[in-house]
Structure 1
Amino acid sequence: MTTITRFSQQILQLSRLCLCSLFFSSIGANAALVQLESNLSPISVGQDFWLTLNVQDRDSSIISALDLRLFFDSQLARLNTVEFGQFLGGASDSLQDSSIELNQVSVTELSLLGNDTLALLQDIQNPSMDLSLMRFNFTAIEQGQFSISKDYIDLFDGNFIPQDTEMLALSLSILPNSQHVTAPHYMGLFISLIVIGLTARRSQV
């Protein structure tokens, strides 16, 4: 396949994706459940943590593209990177784009693989298997209740028709870093009194 032909197919696929997103956003099959799962809970200030985007309760449809935007509390955690999974083809066989702003992240991915290849890759005969489509790396910067929720999320099947998708907001506790907790000011006085007492006792012996 020549570079020009491959590029033309990419443009055609992107055009179909945009058209379907505009004109068929109300069409879908059984709703797929999308969840964010953390590798840590609770989290301490200063720690890095990962949130993985998993698709659960799938039907027999493949996922050929995705488009999403998430909001998060940027005062409590900083988003560092977005890493794509392999179920849409990976970096070599999909078009990928991500954009991180102050309190939001936008991600799109369009597979360049055929539907039969995607069906094998995503094991559609085993809908109970979770598909990890991507993960987000954060650093906790302030204690509090960190939350992340969707603005929108669209998953497209092999015909580039949006599927019904449900996604719940995620809330995580960020705790103070115990290594940086300072002792109360009176602890110094207390320790000084102990030292003085021990010194006086030794002098009396």
Structure 2
Amino acid sequence: MTIIFMTLLSILTQIGLNQYSSKKDFKIDRNSQIYAGLLNAIVWIVFVFKHPYSLNLLLVCLAFSILSSIFFIDLKYHIIPNEYNLALFILAVVFVLNNSQYWAVFVKGGLYFLLVFGLIFVLTKQLGLGDVKMSVSLGMFLGSGLLLNYLLVTFLTGACVSILLLLLKKKKLKGHIAFGPYMVLAFFYLLLN
């Protein structure tokens, strides 16, 4: 019963996000909407099999819905909408409050992620401010202990895909590549392991 409920909720959440984005300047095409919906449903089901139903599970799954939309929006428009970052942050705050015995670990995670990604933003000008904002919420979900793992997975994934795009001549050396999708992939990877 939980699987059916979570699958339906994931689909409804993704439909709502798709409709919202279609009313804004960051409309994602139909295929990307379908991919986001399928990815979302699959991950929700995997989470349900790996973890007992709880408020934490629901919050992480809802965050995943937002992140799957961010993945496709940033890939296409090189922007992470403030509305999505705000919704993600609210979910992260509720997650921290629901895990009050570990609140310091999760709050430090958000602060450490902000510090690291903020420094990268200021020093290199290669990240967008949306990436920095999103990092706070991701850090609050992951906690301070996963910062180094997160950075390693994010930058390795970004580097491998960038090299592949250069070799395939899909991007030029001076071209801009959205970083948000790699941040999202690293978050998913760490949550699933």
Q: Specify the TM-score bucket, using the shorter chain as the normaliser.
A: under 0.3
The structure where helix makes up a greater share of residues is: 2
Q: TM-score with structure 1 length normalisation?
A: 0.26
Give the number of the structure with larger relative contact order, counting CA–CA contacts within 8 Å between residues 6 or more apart: 1
